[in-house]
Amino acid sequence: MAGEFRIGSHKVHRIEEWQGGFAPPEALFAEYEASAFGGHVSAFEPDFLRDGLIYGYLQSWLIDTGEETVLVDTGAGNGKSRPGIPIFGDLESDFLTRLGEAGFAPEDIDKVFCTHLHIDHVGWNTQLVDGEWKPTFPNALYFFPDLDEQAWNPDKEIYPSLGGAAVNANVFEDSVAPVIASGQARLIESGHSIADGMTAFASPGHTPGHMVLQVEADGDVALFTGDILHHPMQVLRPDWNSVYCEDRATAAATRRKVLEQAADQHARIVPAHFGAPHSVFVERDGDGFRPIYR
């Protein structure tokens, strides 16, 4: 399957849920500059830009160590009401079929890690069973950032003025709360070990609790970065945020820190929404960075 790779002896499968044109660049990037973006259009087409729209994917990453399986982010899910972002509402995707094509059933998943609790990263946490939202992966432990649980839990309202509240309507209730109620969830802080060689680190800004999963095996390093990067333009311009970033100054600082780490460690960056080849390496370019695809 396109996008598969290895981290040492670990095999990583890309499980696609959706692909398509999402928004024009001026509607996605908060700091958009037409002249800056225009200079890279030919390099972005067709994998990252089509017909004037940012082309992206909803995709999950399944890490198979040979001893256990870890699913990173779970897309938007099927049959869920999403009035704040209808493009991802009431989907009927073949996500579980594609999981099966990779060789795995929901019962085979040992752990689920959500980089943050946005609509398009938690959807397949649950599915509708006899009118109730139940965990899709019955044998898995789910790992959620503690700060994001506080941010999006309507009973806590620790962050009452989140800009993404309208977009994230219904999400906590149907895709996070049922997992917590089942007893399968673990709320974690920075530095938590998900599995051997897999550590979650705080990477705030996009959401208060956003986390990166760092995976190390046999000398290889990969950083599963969720929504720190939506598009390779943000490698070239780390100061560009998506309009969905809650704290833009913090998000930009986090982005640069992750890019510096990836460049210094020769680590593969694995974002949630990149077009083919779906992951990227980076090199320093003066005071900035440039993407390297391999």
Taking residue 292's Cβ as centre, other Cβ atoms within 10 Å add up to 12
Residue 35's pLDDT is: 97
Helix (H, G, I), strand (E, B) or coil at 291: strand
The predicted structure's pLDDT at residue 195: 97
- Please work out, in degrees rounded to the nearest 5, the angle formed at the alpha carbon of residue 29 by the alpha carbons of 23 and 31: 150
pLDDT of 1: 58
What residues make up the domain containing 161? Answer: 5-292
What pLDDT score does 159 carry? 76
- As a whole number, the mean pLDDT across the chain is 97
Can you give the pLDDT at residue 197? 98
Phi and psi (nearest 5°) for 203? -145, 65
Long-range contacts of 43-50 (CB under 8 A, 24+ apart): 44/231, 44/232, 44/233, 47/275, 47/276, 48/231, 48/232, 48/274, 48/275, 49/25, 50/21
52 token code pair: 């004037």
Structure tokens at 172: 């906590």
Distances (CA, A) of 294 to 13, 53, 125, 219, 262: 16, 24, 31, 18, 14
How many domains does the chain fold into?
1
**Cα separation, 271 vs 274, whole angstroms:** 6
Rounded Cα distance, 126 and 140, in Å: 12
Find out whether 177 and 185 touch, Cβ atoms under 8 Å: no
CA–CA separation, 154 and 170 (whole Å)? 10
> pLDDT 10s digit of each residue in the chain, 294 long?
588 999 999 999 999 999 999 999 999 999 999 999 999 999 999 999 999 999 999 999 999 999 999 999 999 999 999 999 999 999 999 999 999 999 999 999 999 999 999 999 999 999 999 999 999 999 999 999 999 999 999 998 777 778 888 899 999 999 999 999 999 999 999 999 999 999 999 999 999 999 999 999 999 999 999 999 999 999 999 999 999 999 999 999 999 999 999 999 999 999 999 999 999 999 999 999 999 998
3-state secondary structure of 236: helix
What is the DSSP-derived secondary structure letter of residue 267? P
Instruction: Provide the residue count of the chain.
Output: 294
Phi-psi map region of 187: left, alpha, beta (phi>0 left; psi -120 to 50 alpha): beta
Can you say how many angstroms the Cα of residue 87 is from the centroid of all Cα atoms in its chain? 17
Q: According to the model, what pLDDT value does residue 2 have?
A: 81
User: Which CA distances in Å does 28 have to 16, 52, 64, 183?
Assistant: 21, 12, 33, 36
Structure tokens at 227: 């929504």
* Residue 63 belongs to domain with CATH number: 3.60.15.10
Distance CA 60, CA 46 (A): 21
